[in-house]
Amino acid sequence: MSKRAIYLSGTTALESTTTAVGTMGLGAVGAGVAHRQGTSATALAAECAPPQPEITKPFAAAWLIFCLTFFGLLFLSHLRALHDTYIAAGVALFVFAALRAANAKAVQDNAPKLAQYEMEWRCLTCAGVFVP
């Protein structure tokens, strides 16, 4: 059986929503809603999962770098805040561009692994993996 078929047949999408309302002495009322979604996979499906490139979140990393650089410059130097903002924005932009380029390279480097994965089959009797 193909590894992709094993992975798809053993993976399930999960989604749940919980709503709660409660009271606590003296008339205090509380309400809440929680929403969760994800996937569940069998052990065999997890073994047969397709290779994933190592992707980082460039916007989140750039925002973190911007904040750290901005506040670091603001508190550790006597430069004007506008000048600090330009330096922090430049550093964050550089980090964002570098991470985007790294992500593109990771996806490109993952293509041969994904092509090999698409050709592989797994024997359910002996657990061997082969390319027909």
Q: What is the pTM of this model?
A: 0.55
Helices 81-119 and 58-76: angle between axes, nearest 10 degrees: 160
Tell me the per-residue pLDDT of 89-120, one tens digit each, with 9 for 90 and over. 787 888 888 888 888 888 899 899 988 888 88
Q: What does the longest C-alpha to C-alpha distance in the chain come to? A: 71
φ and ψ of 34, to 5 deg: -125, 135
Q: What secondary structure letter does DSSP report for 2?
A: B
Tell me the per-residue pLDDT of 16-53, one tens digit each, with 9 for 90 and over. 999 998 887 777 888 889 888 988 889 888 888 898 88
